[in-house]
Structure 1
Amino acid sequence: MIGYYIHHHGTGHRVRASSICAALEAPVTALSSAPVDPGGPFVDRVRLARDDRGSSPENPTADGALHWVPAHDVGLRTRMSRIASWVDATRPSLMVVDVSVEVAAFVRLLGVPVVMIAMPGERTDPAHRLGYRLADHIVAAWPQAMYDPEWLREFAHKTTFVGGISRFDGRASAAGPASSRPRILVLSGTAVTVGDVRRCAHVHRDYRWQALGVPGAPWIEDPWPELCGADVVVSDAGQNSVAEIAAARRPAIVIAQPRPFGEQSATAHSLASGGLAVSIPQWPEVTRWPALLDRALALGGDSWVRWQTAGAATRAAAVIDSLAKRAESAP
């Protein structure tokens, strides 16, 4: 059995976990504070208590040694106790952690080998260094040729760069008929509202504008047809968003959102430097859109092949399965 800890923030960690675990040979139990849908690639689910519901967290970083361990927090105590009980009863061969330094350190102290999912950005603080040092292996879900951070090179001997992991990998294109008016798809995470998109549509009528997931716009579970049919995609620089655009091979404008440790800024910079997408720091003035869209269309979408989404989840699963088998065969 493999345990897979899934961070509760957003949906990206869950989507990535599902993609990887669908390709695993070993059975997997999901452990998370977020609800994990029934069915799918998990044989079991362990719902963990939240540890961020206290009104006044006391020394949550343990004087800078960790990221989030508020003293005397009932949720933290309950979630760690639940993890320990599961480990004791199940005796997993290893634990995949995406992402929590505290969970990685805790299960390693229980004697369980750990695979850490790396995140972009500046991860040089003591807590991240502890997590990566404790990890038996690190999986980086991006191509090394496009982004090779200096802080990760210390752990090169135990790091595998698998490429961008997309739930749409291998899915046939769903592009519709071509149109004389380029279609611009604005996705959630770009810190705009549907009103901002409507203003663009009013001023720039030579383009067709569509928003998905932004406040005031519809949300759909399967945006693949819309992605494939877009002439330009406007998105944040989150790992899942980028991987999905890469899988669809669409021209893109990425707007890095503020995230801890500069996660999205690092990704956006690597995309712009590599000529994969246009990167801008914020939603632009409405008059700037034609020039930005022309730049994105000129880049095209063919270069996205370098983000290596094809087979990325399978490559990650192969690493994890190999480590699990090694752990199971150990005396």
Structure 2
Amino acid sequence: MIGWYVHHHGWGHATRLRAIIPHLDDEVTVFSSLPQPTDLPAGVRWVRLPSDADDIVGADGARRPARHFGDETARGSLHWAPIAHPGHRARLAVIADWAAASEVSAFVVDVSAEVAAFVRLLGIPTVVVAQPGRRTDRPHRMAYEMADRILAPWAAGTVPAEGLTGFDDRVRRVGGVSRYDGRRAGDSAARRVLFLGRTVDDAVLRRAIALLRADGWSVETAGAGEGDRVDDVWPMIAGAHVVVSAAGQNSVADLAAANARAVVVPQARPFDEQGETGRVLAAGGWADVAPSSTDPEHLVRLVQRASDRTPDWSGWQVRGAAARAAAVIGEVRV
């Protein structure tokens, strides 16, 4: 049995899980505060964890913020361990009870420094998923120190990831993990642009779309506004001449899988995660990169410039990355 912790911010961590699971030959139990996704693969159990960030409700009915009773970072040693929070205690207890009752071969943590430390203290071989950005703080260093393997979902020589310095014996850079690896890209339609996800504010998006349509472009959106969520965006990515996307790991890996012409707009994230990725993409010539404060006219110019590119995403090493990630987990299984 493999345990797997999925962070609750967005759906990117769960998407990566789903890409890797088909390459594992063991059952998986997933722990997350996220609701269970539909159509989980066979052999996967989803355990919903209590929240550790909502208000604490006392016996008197009074509500207090999660960090009310003291320093939730333990003087900078941790990212989040709120004192006297019943949800925090309960979520760790759920994992411990499961571990005590199961034959656990390995545990993947994507991502939480606290869960990584806790699972390793339970004596379980631990794989920590790394992320781009300036992750040189004490909690990240603790998680990397305690990990049996560090799974970096990018290709060697791309993301600097200064926080991984000193852990070369355990780091495995597997390439960008995309759920669409192996799907045929097909031919893109000339002068069709796809806005993928929420990359710019609504006013900039509306104006950019108007300018592009006035210039003869057809425009599609997926997850960029209200009511346009698409579960399988592959046909839209593969059919677009240019894709405008954020710089999240899954989004970039999907662009690479399609060998897409792209304009990437890094979003503000902790530890400058997307900022670092954007700089790598710009320096490597994989995509045109715009600041999050870009104006509609600049964005349109970048779309037009990207349309003249002939990209080569092979260096992002998406092909086979999910299988290589599964092999990393296999390295530590007992």
Q: TM-score range by the shorter chain?
A: over 0.9
The separation in 1 between residues aligned to 2:133 and 2:299, in whole angstroms, is 28
Letter in 2 for 1:306: G
Task: Give secondary structure in 2 for the equivalent of 1:115.
Answer: strand
The equivalent of 2:47 in structure 1 is 46
The equivalent of 2:145 in structure 1 is 133
Deviates further, 138-147 or 28-37? 28-37
Deviates further, 153-162 or 28-37? 28-37
The separation in 2 between residues aligned to 1:266 and 1:5, in whole angstroms, is 24
The separation in 1 between residues aligned to 2:24 and 2:42, in whole angstroms, is 9
RMSD: 1.6
1:283–1:251 CA distance, 2 compared to 1 (3 A): farther
Matches within 5 A, 1:183-222: 183-193=192-202, 195-204=203-212, 205-206=214-215, 207-216=217-226, 218-222=228-232
Q: How far is the alpha carbon of 1:42 from its aligned partner?
A: 4.0
Aligned equivalent of 1:100, options 108, 112, 117: 112
Determine if the alignment matches structure 1 residue 155 to structure 2 residue 167. yes
Task: Give secondary structure in 2 for the equivalent of 1:298.
Answer: coil
The separation in 2 between residues aligned to 1:99 and 1:187, in whole angstroms, is 24
Determine if the alignment matches structure 1 residue 249 to structure 2 residue 259. yes
The equivalent of 1:12 in structure 2 is 12
The separation in 2 between residues aligned to 1:286 and 1:13, in whole angstroms, is 31
Task: Give secondary structure in 1 for the equivalent of 2:308.
Answer: helix
The separation in 1 between residues aligned to 2:303 and 2:142, in whole angstroms, is 43
The separation in 1 between residues aligned to 2:43 and 2:262, in whole angstroms, is 33
User: Which portions of structure 1, spanning 4 or more consecutive aligned residues, are displaced by more than 4 angstroms?
Assistant: none
The separation in 1 between residues aligned to 2:161 and 2:210, in whole angstroms, is 42
Q: How far is the alpha carbon of 1:69 from its aligned partner?
A: 0.3
Letter in 1 for 2:313: W
Aligned equivalent of 2:122, options 105, 110, 129: 110
Letter in 1 for 2:111: V
CA contact under 8 A between 1:275 and 1:299: conserved in structure 2?
A: no
CA contact under 8 A between 1:115 and 1:135: conserved in structure 2?
A: yes
The separation in 2 between residues aligned to 1:216 and 1:32, in whole angstroms, is 26
Q: How far is the alpha carbon of 1:291 from its aligned partner?
A: 2.7
The separation in 2 between residues aligned to 1:113 and 1:192, in whole angstroms, is 43
The separation in 2 between residues aligned to 1:196 and 1:308, in whole angstroms, is 33
CA contact under 8 A between 2:205 and 2:296: conserved in structure 1?
A: no
The equivalent of 1:33 in structure 2 is 33
Deviates further, 281-290 or 109-118? 281-290
Give deviations 1:237-284, integer Å, cap 9, x for gaps.
000111111111111111111100010001111111111011111252
CA contact under 8 A between 2:135 and 2:162: conserved in structure 1?
A: no
Letter in 2 for 1:305: S
The equivalent of 1:298 in structure 2 is 308
Q: Normalization by structure 1: what TM-score? A: 0.92
CA contact under 8 A between 1:243 and 1:307: conserved in structure 2?
A: yes
CA contact under 8 A between 1:22 and 1:41: conserved in structure 2?
A: no
The separation in 1 between residues aligned to 2:112 and 2:262, in whole angstroms, is 30
The separation in 2 between residues aligned to 1:42 and 1:272, in whole angstroms, is 40
Matches within 5 A, 1:259-274: 259-274=269-284
Letter in 2 for 1:85: D
- How many residues are treated as equivalent by the alignment? 320
Q: Structure 1: 5+ residue runs without aligned partners? A: none
Q: How far is the alpha carbon of 1:202 from its aligned partner?
A: 2.3
Give deviations 1:124-152, integer Å, cap 9, x for gaps.
00000000000000000001121233331
Determine if the alignment matches structure 1 residue 63 to structure 2 residue 79. no
Letter in 2 for 1:278: D
CA contact under 8 A between 2:135 and 2:161: conserved in structure 1?
A: no
1:42–1:48 CA distance, 2 compared to 1 (3 A): farther
Letter in 2 for 1:123: R
Percent identical among aligned pairs is 43
The equivalent of 1:166 in structure 2 is 178
1:104–1:65 CA distance, 2 compared to 1 (3 A): same
The separation in 2 between residues aligned to 1:144 and 1:41, in whole angstroms, is 32
The equivalent of 1:234 in structure 2 is 244
Matches within 5 A, 1:269-284: 269-284=279-294
CA contact under 8 A between 1:192 and 1:214: conserved in structure 2?
A: no
